[in-house]
A and B are shown apart, each in its own frame.
Chain A
Amino acid sequence: MLRLLCKFAVLGCMLPLVGCSQSTSTSPVQSGAKTVPSEPLSTGDPKPKVTLIQPGAEAERSAQEALILAEKGEIIEFAEGTFEFKGTLSLNGVPDITIRGKGLDKTFLNFTGQRAGSGGEGLKIKADNFTIEDITIQNSPGDAIKIEDSNRVAIRRIRTWWTNGPDEKNGAYGIYPVLCSDVLIEHCVAECASDAGIYVGQTQRAIVRHNRAERNVAGIEIENTIGADVYENNSTNNTGGLLVFSLPGLKLKNGAHCRVYKNNLYDNNHPNFAHKGGIVASVPPGTGLMIMANDDVEIFDNKIHGHNTTNCAIVSYLIAQRKFQDADYDPFPEGIDIHDNSFSGGGKSPQGEIGKLFEQVAGLPMPDIIVDGINNPKIEVEGKLPEKSRIFISNNGEATFANLGIATVLQGGKPTITRDLESYAGKRAPLEPISILGVN
């Protein structure tokens, strides 16, 4: 039966060879937890130089000049007040720099009216051992802060948002490290991004903790990332509270090794205001936690409640109904363990195309935990996934469950829904914590 699905997946792509390959995820232990950087996250220089920038007509030029001429170990500090920028503020190639304000409620970098062709981002950073703290970045036409190709990044107590509220014209991402390694994001607030408030993309080793995400399309999104600990975050009133996705066509592919724990995800029922085309535009409003195609995800001790579509969905990339051509990409979520979470009050009114599909299959109320039932037929032995690729679900209180059996739907048949958790019993070996030197 699932061979048919596999054939279908092939058809669904431009060229054959897709979706049928073995999972090529890197071993999480090798790639995620064990390797630690050779230098700590902060410099520890007891007396770093500080350049203080005051608000005013010359502030943009002064700040940019300070960042161009910055020296290793320096702190660029913005005073209290609002700073207006007509272009992107950038740091490139100078290590050990800290940008900080006097508090996210006291120092504001405002990018309203940024001129076209100057980048689109608020801040754009490409520098190792970078820290940003205690500042608000607002109203950038593109991402609020994009940090790329940087190793050892600390983002603390910053706020990114768009002051006009949720709007499809807002920039895509609030806090956006991509192609980085050893990233810490803590005590931040991310609001009103038209894609994700906090987005960790194509990164190795990230810790995302103690943040608050509200009124974004995706509150927090971990994408094509190897090694992430996401814990003790609050995510509410987004379209989707927390997404762990693995997408095709990228160099760092097959996201794996992600621990999602002790988060509070509730009432993420905001209408989806993303532009169609991007993957988050497919996320149904009312999604608490969604795992798409990512492998080795351990979900525990979370409180997830009040999501109109479903509190927790584990799905393959195929559910997005998008073509792809990437022979090494694994579109199936494998090695997932959902245990010791608390779920309640979800599934009352599924939204969006995928939500409606779920509803047609499962009826109301939607179960707290759903899996789409689309597995990789190539790795199945006698119709069963090998132990390391299984989905485990245990000890989640009164949580309801359904396997939507959408695999048969993809072949034109009727879904084969099962609500029995028996075949999901057991636990996978716990994932190792992500360790970043200098981060306790």
Chain B
Amino acid sequence: MRTFSVFLCMVTTLVGCRQPTEPVVIAHIEHVTATEGNQPVTQVATRRNQLKFPQQLSEYKLFQGRIENLVPAKGVVEYDLNTPLFSDYSSKQRLIKMPEGTSANYEETRTLDFPIGTVIAKTFYYPIDLVDPSKGRRLIETRILKRTDEGWTGLPYVWNSDQTDAELSLTGANVEVQWLHTDETPRSNTHAVPNMNDCKRCHLNETMEPLGPTARNLNRDMQYEHGTENQLTNWTRTGKLVHAPKPDDAPRLAVWDAPSTGTLDQRARAWLEVNCSHCHNPKGPARNSGLHLAADVTDMYHLGVFKTPVAAGKGTGGRSYGIVPGKPDESILLYRLETKDAGALMPEFGRSLVHEEAVSLIREWIESMPTIDAEQQIKVSLRL
């Protein structure tokens, strides 16, 4: 039952007269338990009802057959990324649907330039057993990014308990989830579905845009019905992508956990790029920190090496520099990944669990950095 109702009050009676400077109350949300089916009629509710976004995920017609099987409909392309964002061990299916007869323009560094009308859907689910996906899964949420002539919009849809559809929830949700982890231990978590403003936390830099489908992150093989094919090649061959070079001539991000795809440095930098650089870039919301974590950053100071924190507060973990080469346990960067403290963890949004495997990777990476022997001599000592 919804506890959400309303009353409209007469404009002048309540507030307006008593204090002439007080603005007029037009609508008044009261939290009285409403009778079932009694829809709220506040100005906020009116706006919600007037939204032109589909209320149900099924309205996007992304799937064929039973929706919970997540089988892409004709013309909907499933894709995979070299290094994905960590989201509390959830699994994800990624789909893209461009209007028929349109294609994306290749971009070497930015997100591919998708045509107006494009819908990107990322469905989050938890397999019952991370080791054995055949045991089934629970669908939690699907995040939609839709491009209109006004730009990209992010919309969260929450799957119902029957798993028959997902409903638009502007304010997100918290969903209790359980799974059997890779080490066979049972795990549980409160999975946070972002609200509509939260989408902008990561996706809004100068403009709102998708983060995953860059050439370098898409440049990998994918299993298609007809067999394995590089995604850039496949998209080009099927007319979904134009002006793309051959995969060997396009940039390629390492797979963070596959040593055959890159050096330790490349894999660590790939993980940091995907998990951090949407905020930590010179134009992003975390630019106030001066810490820039995209894979192409060459300035080691801005990457964190011997860089003092700016507004980290307790996020320093008592450590003095972002990265101290050779000393992961003196590096704030690693502390931020290892902690679960709500006011100190990074990424600050979308992670509540520790990505243990990534922590090992970043630890190894910092350990491998040459210790600067100057460290001792450059320490300013105020001898008297």
Contacts and interface: CB of A to CB of B under 8 A. Distances in A.
Interface in A1-42: 8, 11-15
B30 A120 contact: no
B313 A14 contact: no
B23 A47 contact: yes
Nearest to A250: B290
Contacts of A61: 171
Interface stretch (B100-108, B249-257, B356-364, B373-381): B373-381
A186 to B, nearest CB: 18
Most-contacted residue by chain B among A15, A68, A117, A410 (CB, 10 A): A117
Contacts of B316: 275-278, 281
Interface residues of B, number: 78
Interface stretch (A168-176, A262-270, A422-430): A168-176
By CB atoms of chain B within 10 A, which of A54, A116, A179, A409 has the most? A116
Contact of A50 (B23, B300, B332): B23
A127 B290 CA distance: 22
Nearest to A57: B3
Nearest to A140: B343
Nearest to A318: B380
Nearest to B350: A117
A277 B332 contact: yes
Given A119-B201, A172-B315, A324 B308 contact: yes
Contacts, number: 247
Contact of B44 (A46, A55, A69, A140): A69
A178 B23 contact: no
A379 interface: no
A92 B204 contact: yes
A178 B170 contact: no
B342 A118 contact: yes
B197 interface: yes
Interface stretch (B125-133, B158-166, B281-289): B281-289
B3 A50 contact: no
Interface string A157-172: 0000000000011111
A54 B313 contact: no
Interface string B335-357: 00000111111011111100000
Which interface residue of A11, A46, A62 has the most chain B CB atoms within 10 A? A62
B117 interface: no
Given A67-B197, A409-B384, A172 B290 contact: no
B116 to A, nearest CB: 20
A183 to B, nearest CB: 14
Contact of A276 (B319, B374, B378, B384): B319
Contact of A69 (B47, B192, B374): B47
B31 A194 contact: no
Nearest to A13: B378
B285 A142 contact: no
Given A14-B305, A57-B31, A360-B384, A120 B342 contact: yes
B246 interface: no
A226 to B, nearest CB: 14
Nearest to B330: A277
- Most A CB contacts (10 A, CB to CB) among B200, B288, B351 go to B288
B211 interface: no
A65 B3 CA distance: 15
B192 A248 contact: no
Contact of A361 (B171, B190, B309, B384): B384
A50 B25 contact: yes
A199 B31 CA distance: 36
B299 to A, nearest CB: 8
A195 B311 CA distance: 8
Contact of A322 (B29, B320, B349): B320
Interface in A131-165: 140-143, 148-149
A276 B342 CA distance: 18
B195 interface: yes
A114 interface: yes
A64 interface: yes
A168 B171 CA distance: 31
22 contacts: A8-B380, A15-B301, A54-B29, A61-B171, A64-B195, A65-B170, A65-B171, A68-B170, A69-B44, A91-B197, A114-B342, A116-B345, A117-B350, A118-B342, A120-B345, A126-B200, A143-B313, A172-B313, A172-B343, A251-B282, A281-B316, A321-B382
Given A117-B345, A148-B285, 15 more contacts: A68-B170, A69-B44, A92-B200, A116-B342, A117-B352, A120-B344, A141-B342, A142-B348, A172-B312, A248-B308, A249-B301, A249-B308, A275-B317, A324-B301, A324-B307
